[in-house]
Chain A
Amino acid sequence: MSSTSQKHKDFVAEPMGEKKVTALAGIGDALGKRLEDKGFDKAYVVLGQFLVLKKDEELFRDWLKDTCSANSKQQGDCYGCLREWCDSFL
């Protein structure tokens, strides 16, 4: 597994609570803004989407791509971050 960033570690370390969507690994300002515009203004909303897609990597990646034009790395980061979070807390 590729090394994880600090953001990833921070996110996975604790329950996400009301963290903003930009707290997700791979989601920065631009992507975060796009997600917020679409209505995904909190990290848990994106988590919701991730769960609705049954934690399927491909689907989630596609969805991310469609929703905020994330590139492959960003998709992967976000997916990994959420998956790990789910493993720990769900």
Chain B
Amino acid sequence: MATAQLTDEELSSELKRLGFSPGPVTESTRPVYLKKLKKLRDEQQHRGSRPGKTRNSGAINNNSSGGGGNTAVAAAGSGAARPANNDVTYLSNTRGASGGRPVLNDKRVASGGGGAGGKFVLGFSSDESDAETPQRRRGGPGHGSGRDRGSSGYSQQLAPNRPTGTPATAQKNHGGVAHSNNSSPGVDGRRRTGSVGWGDRAIPGRSWVSQRTETGGRGYEEPGEEDDIEGEEGNDSRSLNGSRTSYLNTSKLAGDYSDSDEEDDEGLSALDRQRDRRLASRRSHPKAASPPHTNARGSESLQEKTRGAIRANEKPGASSLDMLGYRGEGGDEDGKPRGPGESALTGGLLNRSFPRRSIYVSLAGDQAGAPTKDGSPSTYSSKNYEDGNSSPGGGSRFSIGLRPRFSNYSTLSRTYRPVNSNHTLHGYGQDPNKHKHSVPEDELLQQFKRDGVSSSGGFSAHYLSMFLLTAACLFFLLLGFMYLRMRGAGATDADVVSKYNGQNQDFKDHIYTSLKWILSAGDDVGIRLLGEDPEEPVTEVGQVLRLESTHPKMSFLCRFRRAFFTVINRVLLIIAVIALVLGLIYYMKYRWRREEDQSRQMYDMVARIIDVLQSHNEACQDNKDLQPYLPIPHVRDSLVQPPDREKMKKVWDRAVKFLKANESRIREEPQLINGANFTVWRWLQPALGCDRLSQIPSKVWQGKAFPLDRRNSPPNSLTPCLKIRSMFDPVMEVGENWHLAIHEAILEKCNDNDGIVHIAVDKNSREGCVYVKCLSAEHSGKAFKALHGSWFDGKLVTVKYLRLDRYHQRFPQAEGCLVPLRPSGGPGSRCDTPHVLPSLLPIKAAEV
């Protein structure tokens, strides 16, 4: 049974109800108690068919010393804390009763009386073959006529039911179908009253939580919900599986409510029915099952329900409307109902359950990973799974339409909300429909924005484009200049000055003046004056015989070619210079990094040697047979793997030298071991108590803080990318390669999951974030389950999903990663213990 969303108190009271008095439920005892709860529930269920089962009671008997009478227990009725004694006796008595189960059921109902009594019973609803109507139906309205279903009130029901309803209770255990059979006649009336009575019932959220926990494909049915539904739908429900029946009933019930308020009963009830079906299926089936269910039925039922809900929503005021509205919220896929539904619900208690439910619905319906839930989920600001959790509750709520319930659920949602900060969905959806889609989008965006993705990538891209632009401009400028320059230095025919003189006698003076001016003007006016000797500079105007243009008329092609080559030459020159400079820089960096690497390795080696010696020393303290020194070569051979020995030789030598010079706690000395002379290391420091503390395992997985259930994890994995928080503290980390240790730790933790293709440790994040990409959403879901909520290195690790495109933006190198990573598990694989060298430690006689 998935014990989803059971708080400690709930778990504790559940156990008490079952007749077992638990100790404190802490993180270490929780799994044990959950198992116990499961076992007890199984026991109770099977008790009817197997009266001889004594194991459980045997165990219980350990705890309980005596027993109140069965009657006492029965009379105790509604879930009052049953002393273990009573429970035990009760159990044993029940066995004697016809179908001990009924009694148990009663008990359960009674216990549920405090809240949803029918919790346990719910699990049975799927047993269609059982002709008995489960009385459990929350002791509430749906009790069959034969049963003493106190329709007046839940609490009342429980009390009177129990003693009298014993035979009926047995029926309750079974699937809703049975319910309908028996209860049909009286159910309707009861149901109505029952529904009303439900209002009286203060059903703690726990009730349907526990319901949920009873799975096994049982048709979990909301207490009361199912009863009602069954009563009405009797035959119909029978044809469906348990869950369906309950849904039908619920929907019927809802229909009842809606009938009074809505005109379109038919549609609504149909919707409700489907919705209930959906709800019930969701609730009853484990997470895995529910998506298919919802997919199968949910989509259309959701839509229908949505529509109905919308309709319901449009009619303000009635609480039933609210309920329907909630249901309509389920129609996330449509994206329509939510808006109005939510707004309608805002005022109501249902708000909480509703949004949750819708979220769940949307999640279930929308397998694409990007939850379409909009605002409504945000209310809970909880993870998707919350929705999943709440939806059953929500479903029950719907059917029951009990205000107190909703308040309970609200509380629950409130409690749930803080649990998942990771998947916070903001923006409770008060928005109209069109905002709905944008809201989850925004929420996701906000989530991802916090990741600080694309900060560096975008930066460099921007600069790159600018650089390219500038380079292009420069190139063209250069080309232009080259072109200009080309116009000179060409040898062509020089015009003879006399030709000019001869051409126009009138301008002879002008020509003379201009020639003179050209001479005096030192600038290049485009005319070169040539005398007799072309090489000699002209100083006198009289010497000028020829004029020559300094801008030779070259053919375009020639000019172009010349310009081109010049430009190319220049550019190549510049590039060569730049390349040279860059090469130098890289080389320097490389050398520097190499140096760093070497020293880091050396320090690492030194640390390991010290560790080894220290642990050996401690081992020697315990075991006097060992020599308090270790030969150096032996240490080397055990620390360095054979393939690496050649490579690490330099590092090793440096380490040895370093130790000799800088480590005061280790002394080198020659010793005779087995006839051979060895230089050994002796650890000198007397064992300090506090030294052991420093050996507290670091980078180690230390167990799970809470079991992963729908409350604190999404019902389905959304994307293949994960962001893991609190894996390390960047301030505390020393060394270069601690991030590899983190890689290893993650891979080791998920070593059954072959789908991790990329891991990136954000060394600068305060929160200690690690980004992981998996092959598929399913792999990431598995990794999520393995990692979320575990203790690592004294910190509680939380995981959330990231969008794939954002992940690729941030880590473009991850796009091409397809090979699953494997943990390398080197010596002293980090996950388990740091630097343990079993070969050097004495093997103690194993008791195991």
- Point out residues on A near B: beta carbons under 8 Å: 7, 22, 26-31, 33, 37-39, 49, 51-54, 56-59, 62-63, 66-67, 74
Identity of the chain A residue whose Cβ is nearest the Cβ of B794 in the assembled complex: A39
- Chain A residues with CB below 8 A from B703, complex form: 38-39, 67
Q: Contacts A37-B833, A56-B62, A66-B31 hold; do A30 and B848 have CB atoms under 8 A apart?
A: yes
How far, in whole Å, are A28 and B62 apart by their CA atoms in the complex? 28
Asked if A53 and B844 make an inter-chain contact with CB atoms under 8 angstroms apart, the answer reads: no
Known: A52-B26, A59-B32, A59-B36. A29 touches B21 (CB 8 A): no
* Cβ–Cβ contact B63 & A54, under 8 A: yes
11 inter-chain pairs at a CB distance below 8 angstroms, sorted by A residue, are A37-B833, A39-B703, A49-B28, A53-B23, A54-B23, A56-B63, A57-B59, A59-B33, A59-B36, A63-B29, A66-B31
A40 to chain B, nearest CB (A): 9
B36 touches A52 (CB 8 A): no
Which B residue's beta carbon lies closest to that of A41?
B696
Closest A residue to B25 by CB, please name it: A52
B700 beta carbon closer than 8 Å to chain A: yes
Question: Is B22 close to A, CB under 8 A?
Answer: yes
- Given A52-B26, A54-B63, A56-B62, the answer on whether A74 and B848 have CB atoms closer than 8 Å is yes
Structural contact, B702 and A39, CB atoms closer than 8 A = yes
- Are the C-beta atoms of B702 and A38 separated by less than 8 Å? yes
Q: Is B847 an interface residue (CB 8 A)?
A: yes
Q: Is the CB of A28 within 8 A of B29?
A: no
B670 within 8 A of A: no
For A31, give its contact among B26, B32, B63, B848 (CB under 8 Å): B848
| B24 pairs with A52, CB closer than 8 A | yes
Q: Is the CB of B847 within 8 A of A28?
A: yes
Additional 11 contacts, C-beta under 8 A, given A29-B847, A37-B697, A57-B59: A28-B847, A28-B848, A29-B844, A29-B846, A33-B833, A39-B702, A51-B23, A52-B24, A52-B28, A62-B35, A63-B31
Q: Is the CB of B23 within 8 A of A52?
A: yes
Interface majority SS on A: helix, strand, loop or mixed?
helix
User: What is the CA–CA distance of A39 and B704 in the complex, to the nearest angstrom?
Assistant: 12
B-chain residues with CB within 8 Å of residue A67 when the two chains form the complex: 28, 703
In the bound complex, residues from chain B placing their C-beta under 8 Å from that of A33 are 833
Question: Once bound together, how far apart are the Cα atoms of A54 and B24, in whole Å?
Answer: 9
| Complex alpha-carbon distance, A50 and B539, angstroms | 116
- Selected from A26, A54, A66, the residue in CB contact (under 8 A) with B22 is A54
Set A26, A27, A52, A74: member contacting B29, Cβ < 8 A: A52
Q: Which residues of B contact A30 (CB under 8 A)?
A: 846, 848
Among residues of A, the one whose C-beta sits closest to the C-beta of B697 is A37
Q: Are B847 and A57 in contact (CB under 8 A)?
A: no
Chain B residue nearest to A77 (CB atoms) is B847
Residue of B nearest to A28 (CB): B847
For residue B441, CB closer than 8 A to chain A, the reply is no
Task: Give Cα A59–Cα B697 distance, bound, in whole angstroms.
Answer: 28
B847 neighbours in A (Cβ, 8 Å): 7, 22, 26-29
Q: Shortest CB–CB separation between residue A11 and chain B, in angstroms? A: 12
Partner of B700, one of A31, A37, A66: A37
B628 vs chain A, min Cβ distance (A): 21
Shortest Cβ gap from A61 to chain B (Å): 9
Contacts of B259 in A (CB 8 A): none
- Inter-chain CA distance A38–B35, complex, in Å, is 20
Given B26, B36, B702, which contacts A62 in the complex, CB threshold below 8 Å? B36
Question: Which residues of the partner chain A approach B697 to less than 8 Å between Cβ atoms?
Answer: 37
Closest CB pairs A-B (n = 6): A28-B847, A54-B23, A28-B848, A63-B32, A62-B32, A58-B59
Q: For the complex formed, measure the closest distance between the CB of A5 and the CB atoms of chain B, giving whole angstroms.
A: 8
Chain A residues positioned under 8 Å from B62 (CB to CB): 56-58
Bound: A51/B848 CA distance, A: 24
**CA of A31 to CA of B31 in the docked complex: distance in angstroms?**
19
Say yes or no for B832: interface residue by CB 8 A criterion: yes
A56 contact set on B, CB distance < 8 A: 23, 59, 62-63
Contacts of A57 in B (CB 8 A): 59, 62
Task: Give Cα A58 to B31, complex, Å.
Answer: 13
Q: Report whether B29 and A59 are in contact in the complex, using a CB–CB cutoff of 8 Å.
A: yes
Measured in the bound complex, the distance between the Cα atoms of B36 and A66 in whole Å is 13
Residues of B near A49 (CB, < 8 A) are 28-29
Residues of B contacting A52 with CB < 8 Å?
A: 23-24, 26, 28-29
Contact yes or no, B700 A53, CB < 8 A: no
A26 to B848, CA, bound (A): 7
Which chain B positions have C-beta within 8 A of A59? 23, 29, 32-33, 36
Does the CB pair A63–B700 fall under 8 Å? no
Docked Cα-Cα span, A39 to B28, in Å, equals 10
Question: Quick one: CB contact mask for B684-715 with A, threshold 8 Å, 1 for yes?
Answer: 00000000000001001011000000000000
Q: Bound state CA distance, A37 and B36, in angstroms?
A: 25
B640 → chain A closest CB, angstroms? 24
Smallest beta-carbon distance B615→chain A, Å: 13
On whether the beta carbons of A28 and B846 are closer than 8 Å, the reply is: yes
Contact B846 A63 (CB under 8 A): no
A20 to chain B, nearest CB (A): 10
Cα separation A27 to B848 with both chains bound (whole Å): 7
Chain A residue nearest in CB terms to B58: A58
Least CB distance, A44 to chain B, in whole angstroms: 14
Nearest CB on B from A50, distance (A) = 10
Give Cα A38–Cα B700 distance, bound, in whole angstroms. 9
| A59 and B11 alpha carbons, distance in the complex (Å) | 14
A59–B21 alpha-carbon span in the complex (Å): 12
How far apart are the CA atoms of A44 and B832 in the complex, in Å? 23
Task: Give the docked Cα–Cα distance between A58 and B32 (Å).
Answer: 9
Smallest distance from the beta carbon of B708 to chain A beta carbons, Å? 15
Chain B residue with minimal CB distance to A71?
Answer: B848
Interface residue from B22, B702, B848 paired with A29 (Cβ < 8 Å): B848
How many angstroms from the CA of A42 to the CA of B63 in the assembled complex?
27
- Docked complex Cα distance between A28 and B847 (Å): 5
Q: Measured between alpha carbons, how far is A54 from B847 in the docked complex, in Å?
A: 27
Residue among B23, B24, B832 with most chain A CB within 10 A = B23
> A69 → chain B, closest Cβ, in Å?
10
Once the chains are docked, how many angstroms separate the CA of A20 from the CA of B847?
Answer: 14
**CB-based nearest B residue for A51:** B23
A37/B32 in contact, CB under 8 A: no
Whole-angstrom distance between the Cβ of B168 and the nearest chain A Cβ: 32
* A37/B29 in contact, CB under 8 A: no
Q: Mark interface residues in B26-45 (1 if CB within 8 Å of A CB, else 0).
A: 10110111011000000000
Within 8 A of A (CB), among B34-82: 35-36, 59, 62-63
CA distance A58 to B23 in the complex (A): 13
Using CB atoms, name the residue of chain A closest to B20. Answer: A56
Bound CA span A39–B26, Å? 14
Q: A54–B60 Cα gap in the complex (Å)?
A: 12
Closest to A31 in B: B848
CB-defined contacts of B24 to chain A, threshold 8 Å: 52
